[in-house]
Amino acid sequence: MNTICTIKYIATLLLLTAVHATLHAQMTSNDTLLRKLHMAEICINNLYVEEVDEKKLVEDAIKGMLEKLDPHSSYLDAKEVKASNETLQGSFEGIGIQFNMVEDTLMVIQPVTNGPSEKVGIIAGDRIITVNDSTIAGVKKSREEIMRCLRGPKGSKVKLGIKRQDIDELLTFTVTRDKIPVKTVDAHYMVEPGIGYIRIGSFGSTTHQEFMECLEQLQQQGMSKLLLDLQDNGGGYLQAAVEVAEEFLDNNALLVYTKGRRVPERHYRAKDNGHFTQGNVVVMVDEYTASAAEIVTGAIQDHDRGDVVGRRTYGKGLVQRPIDMPDGSMIRLTIAHYYTPSGRCIQKPYTKGNKKDYSMDVYNRLKHGELTNSDSIHFADSLKYYTLKKKRVVYGGGGIMPNYFVPLDTTQYTKLHRQLAAKSIILNANLRYVDKHRKNLKKQYPDFATFKQQYEVPQSVINGILKEGEKQKITPADDAELQRTLPYLKLQLKALVARDLWDMSEYFSVINESNHIYRTALQVLKGEVTEDTYYTSTKSKAP
């Protein structure tokens, strides 16, 4: 064995010597560094004292290079690419259900309308006990493992064992997997006569189509003013943002432009008159509104098409180009910056290679008072820009600063509520309650309007949550904290019940009642406040 090892070692040394000589002979000013990197990989793989994973070695080298650049250049392995594409491309292949885990058992919240599961008769409240005769209930499988069992190629079949309330025997359904749409528009509804609401959760390949369907439905119901909710929208496809933005503007209006070191400046303009160019618009944003969502916000604000309400957006204005690798992995490399029509760079400042400080930016905003007090926000004159029609002052320097600032209410979520939510006590209580009373609730509240007006969460549900909290040593500090917790807890539970009986539009219709940005945006849209009167009236109210 020693002789064999020695021979292999000598052969490796000879190989490396030959490679070294060849590399030196062929090196030019253009490829010296690339060959240096290649040689380092060969040396480590062949000479290092222990076995190395060559694939991981190369991936770590790529990640190491990207980590020294901006905060958004990144490397994704093949699995991460697939998961990312499912969200952005608007579909995945599976059985088509919304589900949650209740006591180690998968419970169907809603089957996707016209999806594979609904077509074979699976209904809300069903519990999936087995998948292809393998038990998944009560065996403490992770959510990811269960999803892998349920997903599969379009056309493939999966046999599900279902436990249904009031039926003793296990029901069996064979589901043929299919393409399942992933919605990026979370909700839409009429707030009141003439005023509509649309919430976009992210920007994917189907966003414009979804948005237009919602817009047309609301217009048919008499909508003339729109609340566009982009809170917590982390962005997505540039093209999707462009398509949505141009629906608010006239033909040839500049929507956004990009500039980079090695790529030509590119201007994105509206290709036609939009379908909502007249009615009033208010855009709702917060500190997690980013990227593509900032493009839409900036275009509407710069063209004086509508007002922006909330808090300064995240400030993600870097353009990533996807570069596909042969093994299915991908590099997302920053090649340019986004600029709003007035010339503002959306990207906030960053230090190359320092992702830690960058990731702490929102926390630092809170610490410095920016999220809670408009007086804490200061801009240099050099960051001053002007809107294109009314010449109103807007500011660059990273993110989109709203016309109407709404401070973060740090008292809305008590410590008690945060702990109950973190332990899933609230969610699980709701799931059990709806599962037990679904039929009676549907009978008592045949439509959402009746539910919203009349429904109140039973005290027994609240008591059960508090009792479960006590079991897990989660108790209010005093009666005052309990009383501060109850109003939002009850509203949240009502919203969750609405979601489980109907869908996300009904959920947001309820929960938005507690959203300060939403309430202010509604006032602005109805013309109840102007910027001057708003800031004058809120000075004394700022925390």
499 token code pair: 């979601």
Q: 3-state class of 301 per DSSP? A: helix
Unique residue bearing structure tokens 């209580």: 429
Q: Which of 320, 342, 347, 492 is catalytic?
A: 320
Segment (H or E) for 287: none
CB 306 within 8 A of CB 277: no
- Residue 20: phi and psi, rounded to 5, are -60, -45
Give the alpha-carbon dihedral of 147, 148, 153, 155, to 10 degrees.
-60
CA distances from 367 to 136, 319, 533 (A): 45, 29, 28
* DSSP symbol at 261: S
What is the rounded CA–CA span in Å between residue 530 and residue 533?
5
Residues 149, 150, 151: CA angle, nearest 5 degrees: 100
- Residue 525: phi and psi, rounded to 5, are -65, -35
CA atoms within 13 A on the CB side of 267: 9
Q: Does residue 320 have an active-site annotation? A: yes
Q: Which of 141, 163, 225, 316 is catalytic?
A: 316
Segment (H or E) for 435: helix 425-444
Q: Does residue 73 have an active-site annotation? A: no
Give the alpha-carbon dihedral of 87, 93, 95, 100, to 10 degrees.
-30
Q: Does residue 374 have an active-site annotation? A: no
CB 91 within 8 A of CB 181: yes
Distance of CA 33 to the CA centre of its chain: 39
Q: Which of 74, 291, 301, 509 is catalytic?
A: 291
**Strands, sheet with 185-192, edge to edge from the N-terminal-most edge strand:** 185-192, 195-200, 225-229, 281-285, 307-310, 404-405
Q: Which residues are catalytic?
A: 291, 316, 320
